[in-house]
Structure 1
Amino acid sequence: MKKIFRFIGLVLLAAIIYYGFVTYPKLDLISGFSSKSIASGHFIDNRSMKTIEEGDNDINMIDLAKNEIDEKTKTAFASVYGLKSRKAIYREGLGAVLVDDDFDESKPYNVPKRTKLSNNLSFPYGNNEPEKTVFPTVDYKKLELAVASAFDKKGEKKQRTRSVLVLYKDKIIAEKYADGFTKTSKILGWSMTKSLTATYFGILQKQGKFDINKPAPVAEWKNDERKDITTNDLLHMNSGLEWEEDYTQISDVTKMLFQAEDMSKSQVEKPAAFKPDTHWNYSSGTTNLLSGILRQQFKTHQEYLDFWFSSLLDKIGMNSAIVETDMAGNFVGSSYGWATTRDWAKFGLLYLHKGNWNGEQIFDESWAKYVATPTNTSKGQYGAQFWLNAGGYFPDVPKEMFYCSGYQGQMIAIFPSKDLVIVRMGLTEEPDFDFNGFLRDVVGSVKQ
C-alpha cells in the first residue's frame, strides 16, 4: 500500500513540476495582460475591477491573476500566485501602459493636443443627439428582432454582446446596449485599431507627403533582401517577413504586447521568409511598425501625437477616442484604440462615404477602394488593414462588405450599396456569436 501511495505521490509531484515548467513562462504574460486590462478599463471607462475581471479578463488563464488598483497613483498591479508581478500605469491623454522595471515614471511625457467638435449639428456630424427618422425602406420589426438576437437573454452568458448600432443613410436606425454599458461607454476595439492606423497613410498620401509604393523607410533593411519591401506590402500584410500571431502561447505577438518597450521594432527585427507580395500573413507587429513609420514623418514626437487626432479622430468628432501608447511613446496601432460605439460608427461612416466627412475630403476616394481591394494570396479575405467578404467568408452576407475586426468579436461592417454601417462590440467570436446570421438579418431588414 505504501508503494502505491508513494507512486501516486511521485506522479502528482511530476504533474505539478510539469505544470509549473509549462506555465511559469506564461505568468509574465498573464499578469501583464491582466494589469493592463484592469488599468485601461478602470481609468479610461470607469469600470470597477470586479466588472473587468468578470468581463474583459474572463478568459483562459487570465482569470488566475490577482489584481489591485491604486487610485492615487492611477496604477494597476497583477500577479499569479504571488509570482511575476506586473504593473500598468494610466496617463491622461495616453491611456494605460504596461511598464517594466526600467521604466522611468518620473520622466516628463508629451500628450496629444485635443479639439472637440463644436457646432450645432446632430449626430453623426455634431455632438447633439441624433435626429429620429423613420424610413419606409426599413422593416423595423425585423431589424429589432435581428438586433435583439445579438444579446444574451437574462441569465445567459454566450453571445456577450455589449453594444450594437446600425446606421442607415447617416441616421441611427437601431442602437442597443447590454446592462452596464451605454452610449458613453468607451470600448476597446482591439485590432479595429489597425484600420485607423492605415487611414493615416491615406491622409498623408492625399496631402502629397507619402508614397506607399516606395520601399518602406526602415534603415535596418537597406542592405539586405528586405530592402524591396514597400509600405504597400506592409499595409497588405504580405511583406514576407516572419511573424507568429498566436495569443494562446508565448509568441511574437504576445512578447510584443506584453514585454516590448518599443513595439514598432518587433517586426523590424524579423528576417524574410518569403518574397514580398507572395505570402499573406496576419501580423500585429507589422501594424506597429507602420505606426513607427508614421512617427518618422514628423519632426517632433508632439507633432506625431497631435496628427492622429487633428487629421482624423477629432476632425470627424470621435472625441471619445483614445489610442494608447507603448513605453517608447508610439501609438499601439495594432490593438489599443478605444471609443464609444457611436464614435466607432463614425469611422465606418467615413469609409462608407469614401473619405468625405460632411463635405470635407479627409482622404481620396481611391483610398477607400484601395483598402477594400483583396490582397494577393489572402483568398479575398483581406485588403489594406481591413477585412473583406469578397471571398464569401460570410456566405449569406453581400460580398461587397468590408470591415474592421478586433479580438473577441469587435466589428464595424460597411455596405456601400446599402448605405449601411453596422457596429457590434462584445466578448465573443464565432462560433459562439453567429456573425453571418446577425449581419444577414440586419442587412435583410433594409430594402433598397
Structure 2
Amino acid sequence: MKIFKRILLILFVILAVAVYFNFPKLNFISGYASKNMASTVFLTNRSAESVELNDNDVPLINLADVETDGKSATASVFGLMARKAICNEGLGCTLVNKDYDPDIKIPVPQRAKNENDLAFPYGDKEPKDTVFPNVDYDQLQKAMDQAFTNNEVQKTRTVLVAHKNQIIGEKYLEGFTKDTPILGWSMTKSVLATLYGILEYEGKIDLNEPMLLEGWEKDDRKKITLNHLLRMQSGLAWEEDYTSISDVTRMLFMDADMTKAQGEKKAIAAPTEVWNYSSGTSNLLSGILRKRFKTHQEYINYPYQALIDKIGMSSMLMETDMKGNFVGSSYAWANTRDWAKFGLLYLNKGNWNGEQLFGPSWVSYVSEPTILSNGTYGGHFWLNANGKYPDVPRDLYSANGYQGQRVFIIPSKDVVVVRTGLAEDPDFDINLFLKNLLAAIK
C-alpha cells in the first residue's frame, strides 16, 4: 500500500511540474488555434471542419477546442485559457486580449480594384494561351503532379509556374482554386520590405540613415539603420523559437502592439556583427513605416495604393494587430496567382506593365547575401547563393513562409514558381521539386 501511495505521489508531483511549466503555453495554443481558425474561415470561406482537420492539426495546437460564429473564433484547451480572434472587413482577424475595446475602430483600407481587360499578369482575365517551344509541357505536368503525390506527407495545396510573364502550368488540390486566398506567413516579410524599396526609389528614405527610435539615442542602438533591420543584422536581442514561450510567441499571441517588442530589446552586438532572423524586426519595420504618415488612414492605405492594388493583387489582404499595425512578419493572404504577380514584379526588376515601382538596384539589394547569413539571406528575402538547393540556379531568391509557402524567383530561367501547402523540407523536398520543374524549361 505504501509503495502504491508513493507511486501516486510521484505521479502527482510529475503532473504538477508539467502543468506548472506548460500552463503558460496554453495561451499560445489557444491563441494560434483561434486566430488561424477565424482568419481561414473568414477570409477563405473554408469550413471550420476543414481547418480543424488540416490547418490546426499540428502538435499541441490540435489540443485546442475551437468554436466559431462567422466573424470570430474562440479556443481553449480542456476549457482553460480561452482566447478569441475577432474579424473585420478589410482588416482580417485579430487575436484580442483583455485590453480589447470594441469601441475603438481601426481605419479600413481604401482599395482601388484594377479594372481592365488585360490577361494575367497585368489583369485578371485568363492567361493567354501561349506555347513556348523551349518548354516540355508533358514533363512540366509530370513535375507538378509529383508535388502532389504521397500528399499525406508532402501536403501540397497549390503550384503555379510562370515563364516569360505567362502561366505555363498550375495545379490545385481539391478544395482549392485559383481564387482561394493562402496565408503567406513569413512571405509577408518580403511584401513589407518591398514598400521600403518603393520609398527608396521615390527618394523618400535613406537605407543607411540611423533610425534613432525613442531611447536608442542613449546607447549603441543609435547606430542601427533601415539597412541593418532589413538584413536582420541590427544586433538587437531576439529569440525566434515557436516551440517555447519566446520573444516571437509572446509578440504574436500576447502583444496588442506588435511593433514594440523588438525595439525595446537591448543590443547584444553592434550592427553587422551578428545575423539573427527576427519576426520582431519585421514588425518593428511596420511600426517605423506607420510613423512616416500623418494619419492612420494614410498608413493603412499605403501598402495597397503603392503596391498591392497597383499590380492587381486584389485578393491580397494584410491583417493588423489590436492597435491597427500591419503584422508585417506573418499575416498577408493572397491567392496563388496574386502571389505569382508579386514574384513577377521582381522578375521584371520592379517594372509593372511600363510603370517602375522600384528600381533594378533594389532587386540587387534584396538578393545580395547578408554578412554572416552563410549566403542564405538578403534583404527580407531568402537566397540560394550558397547552393542550399544544389540542383537549382544560384541566382534563385525567394519569399519564404512557414509550412512551405514559397514564391521562387529565378532570373536565369525567367521563371517564377509558387508553391503553397502545409509541409516543408524534408517532408516536401524543395530541391527535387524545383529540379524537376526546371528540367522542363530548356
Provide the secondary structure at the position in 2 that maps to 1:316: coil
**Aligned position for 2:164:** 169
**Alpha-carbon contact 1:341-1:423 (below 8 Å) kept:** yes
**Aligned position for 1:78:** 75
Distance 2:331 2:310 in 1: 20
Residues 190-220 of structure 1: CA deviation (Å, up to 9, x unaligned): 0000000101111111111111110024122
Shift of 1:101: 1.2
**Aligned position for 1:115:** 112
**Alpha-carbon contact 2:34-2:85 (below 8 Å) kept:** yes
**Aligned position for 1:15:** 14
Residues 403-424 of structure 1: CA deviation (Å, up to 9, x unaligned): 0000000000001121100000
Distance 1:75 1:407 in 2: 23
Distance 1:38 1:105 in 2: 20
**Alpha-carbon contact 1:220-1:268 (below 8 Å) kept:** no
Residues 164-206 of structure 1: CA deviation (Å, up to 9, x unaligned): 0000011111100111111110000000000001011111111
Provide the secondary structure at the position in 2 that maps to 1:412: strand
**Aligned position for 1:41:** 40
Shift of 1:10: 2.2
Distance 2:259 2:428 in 1: 33
Residues 377-412 of structure 1: CA deviation (Å, up to 9, x unaligned): 111100000000001111111100000000000000
Q: Is 100-109 or 358-367 further displaced after alignment? A: 100-109
Length-normalised TM-score, structure 1: 0.97
Distance 1:309 1:108 in 2: 19
- Number of equivalenced pairs: 442
Residue 184 (str. 1) matches residue 179 (str. 2)? yes
Q: Aligned letter for 2:25?
A: K
Distance 1:342 1:90 in 2: 24
**Aligned position for 2:283:** 288
Provide the secondary structure at the position in 1 that maps to 2:66: strand
**Alpha-carbon contact 1:240-1:278 (below 8 Å) kept:** yes
Length-normalised TM-score, structure 2: 0.99
Q: Aligned letter for 2:367?
A: A
Shift of 1:229: 0.5
**Aligned position for 2:219:** 224
Q: Aligned letter for 1:406?
A: G
Aligned mate of 1:322, from 317, 327, 351:
317
**Aligned position for 1:63:** 62
Provide the secondary structure at the position in 1 that maps to 2:23: helix
Shift of 1:49: 1.0
Aligned mate of 1:407, from 385, 402, 407:
402
Shift of 1:141: 1.7
Provide the secondary structure at the position in 1 that maps to 2:100: coil
Aligned mate of 1:148, from 145, 149, 152:
145
Residue 126 (str. 1) matches residue 147 (str. 2)? no
Q: Aligned letter for 1:172?
A: I
Q: Is 285-294 or 217-226 further displaced after alignment? A: 217-226
Provide the secondary structure at the position in 1 that maps to 2:403: coil
Q: Aligned letter for 1:279?
A: V
Distance 1:255 1:441 in 2: 40
Aligned mate of 1:335, from 326, 330, 335:
330
Q: Aligned letter for 1:53?
A: E
Provide the secondary structure at the position in 2 that maps to 1:67: strand
RMSD over equivalenced CA pairs, Å? 0.9
Structure 1 gaps, min length 5: none
Distance 1:217 1:133 in 2: 52
Structure 2 gaps, min length 5: none
Residues 294-323 of structure 1: CA deviation (Å, up to 9, x unaligned): 111111110011111010000000000000
What percentage of aligned pairs have identical amino acids? Answer: 56
Q: Aligned letter for 1:6?
A: K
Q: Aligned letter for 1:144?
A: Q
Q: Aligned letter for 1:27?
A: L
Structure 1's consecutive aligned runs of 4 or more residues displaced over 4 angstroms after TM superposition are none
Shift of 1:444: 1.4
**Aligned position for 2:243:** 248
Shift of 1:224: 1.2
Residues 2-54 of structure 1: CA deviation (Å, up to 9, x unaligned): 23322332232223212212221100000000110011001011111111111
